[in-house]
Structures are given as C-alpha cells and as structure tokens.
Chain A
Amino acid sequence: MASKHLAAAFRRTSRLRTLSTASTAAAHPLPSAEAYDDGDGISMKGVKIAGRPLYLDMQATSPLDPRVLDAMLPYNLSRYGNPHSRTHLYGWESDAAVEAARAQVAALINASPKEIVFTSGATEANNISVKGVMNFYKDKKRHIITTQTEHKCVLDSCRHLQQQGFDVTYLPVGPDGLVDLDQLRSTVRSDTGLVSVMMVNNEIGVIQPMEEIGKICKEFNVPLHTDAAQALGKIPIDVEKMNVSLMSLSGHKIYGPKGVGALYMRRRPRIRVEPQMNGGGQERGIRSGTVPTPLVVGMGAACELAMREMEYDERWINKLQERLLSGITARLDGVVVNGSTERRYVGNLNLSFAYVEGESLLMGLKEVAVSSGSACTSASLEPSYVLRALGVDEDMAHTSIRFGIGRFTTEAEIDRAIELTVNQVEKLREMSPLYEMVKEGIDIKSIQWAQH
C-alpha cells in the first residue's frame, strides 16, 4: 500500500525536478523557465570544473548516510517537541527518541547509556573534559599530560589552563607518530590530574596504543581522556578494556549530522567535571541546553549503523587504500607515507611527494576534494604542527596530501584520483629544477645556496 503512494509521489516529484533550489533562485529569479545545463560546470574562486569533485576528505567530514537522514526527518517534521517537556506527547516522544539514541551510542563503545552526555560536537566534549576535570580537582591536581599531535581544541584548552597556572607536559611522538610509553610513565607526577591522548589522529591516521596507556593510567590512578572523534565506528572501541574515563565522540565523522557529539563519562569510578555550559541542568547538569532531538537521533542511527557495518566497511576501505597506495607508488618515486604504516586507520592516507610544492599540487587537483594539513590549520601558511612533531622536513611537510577514504568511496574514484595525482606530480616535477638536480645525482642537502 505505502509503496504505491511512494511510487506516485516519485512520479510527481520527477516532474518537479526543474524547480531550482534557493541558491540558484538568487541568480535566476524565474525558476521554472530554466532547463538543466549540464555542460556548464561550476565556477568558484577562479576555478572552473566540469562537475562536482570526487570526495576524498573523509577526515574533515563525511556525507550523511541516507539511512541516518531517514531516521532524522520525522523529528524535523511532525515530532518537533522539546525532549525536556514533561507534560505532553510531543515531549514524551522526543525524550524517548533521545534515550534510544543514547543507548545506541553507548552500545558502540561498550558503555552504559547513563554514561553518555550529548554535546554540540567533539570540540565541546574535549573542552568539558580538559577544562572541566582540571577545574574540578584544581586544589589537589595541577598537572596535565598530553601529546604534541592532539587536536587544536585540546591543545588550546591546555594553553588556556597554562595561563591559569596549571602545568602542562606536551609529550613528543616518534617519527611513526606513536607515544613513547616509557616516557609517559616517567612523566606522571603525584599531582597529575589528566592524561589526554587522541585515539586516531585526524591528520595522519595513526592509532595510539590505548590499552597500554590505559594500563599505565590505572597503575598511577590518573584519569585518561581520549578524543575518539576519528575512531568511533571505525575501529572497535571498548571503554572497559582501554580503562578510559572520558571520551569525546563526534557525529559528523561517522556519516551522521554536523553539530552533535557526545562525551562518555565513566561512572565506576566516577569522574567529576565542572560544567562549561550552565543553565537548566539538562544532561545531568554537565551540559545545559535543549538537547537537539533530530541531531541526536541522527547520531544514534549513525552509531548503530557503524556497529553493523564496521567489518564490511573496513574490508572495503582497506581494499581501496591498498589500491590507492600501490597505484601511486607504482608510477611515482619519492612518495612517503606519514605516520606508522602498521598502526594506522585504513581510511586515512597522508602522503608527501618529494620535490613538489604543496599548494600548486592542490591547485592542480581541483577535481579531487582532498586536504593538505588539517582543515583546522589550513587558514595559516605554517606547515602542519602534527607533521612537524613527527620530525618531517619542512619541504616534505608542505607537500603532504591527506586522502580520506570512506564507506561511499568507489574503486573508480580511487583510479581517477591516482590518475590525477600522478599526472599533476609528474607535471610539477618536470618543471622543477630541484628534481633535475636530484636526477643528476646531486644531493640537495649538501648545496650551499648563495646568499644575496
């Protein structure tokens, strides 16, 4: 029955295809008169391309899975109640949806639903964890340990605490991006209040040894916080095995909506935080503010999907990553993978191309949506601090490209990306006098450049 209605609705909407959306309505004030003009292409910021680029930037954000959108839509249409309204159906059904989503998120990390607090994203969860924990225990604990490759929001929160008088140790990482466990062990003090290490790095995709770090933290009885925004739904996470006290989760990295995230807070033993958002006491007082039901339902649906599809996605993404890497290295030399090759998430491939300038490489790759450095640091001209912490040379750090592969990436897209990247790198190298010198056998590092 319903399918007949759907089929009829679809036939009706096919005729509505010529309706333009709001963005084109501004440029073309008469919507129905315009026909499709597929040969036109897009022109933006001085760049003209024939079609929408193929998307290989999954670490920046991911597309909404249609199944997630399907779960979210009713709460944007008829079920628009505030989940904190206790007196009518709208509130009750909204609250039921929020609690169901909470259970879905908790199931993915082997936690109890009572330990999940919804926030506006992983950045907010990181802020609550770092600043909230240290401010709560500020009389006894004055020291934080973190790494040099953390996300900007963690580093910025630590810097804020430093200005308030706390001590922060930024642990260096090895050239493979992994934390040295012995160094961590020797850095822990009696007044260490928090250790914060991100599970999967957003720039290089390296997976830190969380279980070993958790063991060290348990030994010294220090709470462990981890930013699992890039890890959720991609690698198996078990808060019991990793002995994690606080974990930041993000919705839009696992094919969920943007603007929502969650904070896992352990109940046994209980970790306390000072809230950063004060107000009506929602989310057990940790994060006041109306819980956005559609977004939260979307995150829950995305987590449940991730639990079901994790193995299948990993097999597919692994296959694509191997294809991409072998396709590029078969035709180019001087390609370096940044970060450990064993302990890495398969969907993140950060490559540096020697003797090529990064910005010009990106300008030539306008049909592929990739990023160089992370989205957070791309506003400045500095090379990424993560690559600098790895010990990568300045020139190699500038030419790094991060390929992000995801659930919806196809083999054809990988082949096209290989083609475009190899062509562009070869073109740039042909123009490069440095590369000519290298091919003649001159060692670039030994050159004495003339000072004018």
Chain B
Amino acid sequence: MTSAVPPPVRSEVLLLFRSLLRTSREFADYNIREYTKRRTIDAFRQNRDLSDPSAVVAAFSDGKSQLEVARRQVIVHSLYAPKVKSVMEIKH
C-alpha cells in the first residue's frame, strides 16, 4: 500500500482556491463562468470543517484534478467562443 499522503497545509488550499477562481474568470461562456465560480466557493465552504485527514486529502486531490479540467476547458471554449456575447454580458 502507498504511504499516507500528508494533508495539505492552509496555504496550499488557499492557492488551489484562488487558482480555481482565477481560471473560472477566464471562461468565455457567461453561464459556465458564473457556475464555476459559484461551485468553487460553495464546495470549499462545505469542506471547510472536514476533520478526517484522509477526507481532506481526497477533497484536495479532487480539487486539483478539477483545476486541470477547468484549465483545459477554458482553452477549448476560447477557441470556439461565439463572436456575439450573451445578452447578460452586454451593457443594458
């Protein structure tokens, strides 16, 4: 079996949080951008009080893989972003 992975320190968690939020801001699509931001904040808030170290490690690694997915998808979406934006983004 693998040796126990040490749980992430506070600064690592904060860095992951900030990276996810920064990546979500780069999405070309209005709806996906808003969803990723909201989901990140709610997920970190929900997991704030996790005490079991293995649960913390699992949540952190899940967050890191989500960050990779988000980074890739930001690129894919930007390649095919429509010329005209959503009405929600146009000044009313």
Seen from chain A, the residues whose Cβ lies within 8 Å of a Cβ on chain B are 2-3, 6, 9-10, 13-14, 16-17, 20-21, 24, 36-38, 40-42, 49-55, 63, 66-67, 69-70, 73, 312, 367, 407-410, 412-413, 416
Contact = CB atoms under 8 A, between A and B. Distances in A.
Contacts of B90: 38, 50-51
Given A10-B74, A52-B82, A413-B88, A407 B42 contact: no
Given A14-B78, A407-B35, A51 B84 contact: yes
Contact of A66 (B34, B42, B69, B82): B69
Contacts of A409: 31
Say whether chain B's binding surface is mostly helix, strand, loop, or mixed: helix
A24 B80 CA distance: 12
A66 B83 contact: no
- Closest 5 pairs between A and B when the two form their complex, measured CB to CB: A66-B73, A408-B31, A51-B87, A51-B90, A408-B35
Contact of B76 (A36, A54, A63, A69): A69
B11 to A, nearest CB: 17
Dominant secondary structure at the A interface: mixed
Give the interface size class of chain B: 20 to 34
Nearest to B69: A70
23 contacts: A10-B75, A10-B78, A14-B78, A16-B79, A38-B90, A50-B87, A51-B86, A51-B87, A51-B90, A52-B85, A54-B86, A54-B87, A66-B27, A66-B69, A66-B70, A66-B73, A69-B73, A69-B76, A70-B69, A70-B73, A409-B31, A413-B88, A416-B88
Interface of B: 26-27, 30-32, 34-36, 39, 42, 66, 68-90
A42 B87 contact: no
Contacts of B36: 66
A408 B33 CA distance: 9
Nearest to A14: B78
Nearest to A51: B87
Nearest to A408: B31
A319 to B, nearest CB: 12
Nearest to B92: A416
A66 B31 contact: no
A6 to B, nearest CB: 5
B31 A38 contact: no
Contact of B80 (A21, A63, A312, A413): A21
B78 A17 contact: yes
Contacts of A73: 76
Nearest to B74: A10
A36 B83 contact: yes
Nearest to B36: A66
A312 B71 contact: no
Q: Which of A17, A36, A51, A67 has the most CB of B within 10 A?
A: A51
Contacts of A367: 87
Given A16-B79, A50-B90, A73-B76, A3 B85 contact: no
A51 B89 contact: yes
A407 B69 CA distance: 18
B37 to A, nearest CB: 10
Given A10-B75, A13-B79, A52 B87 contact: yes
A10 B81 CA distance: 14
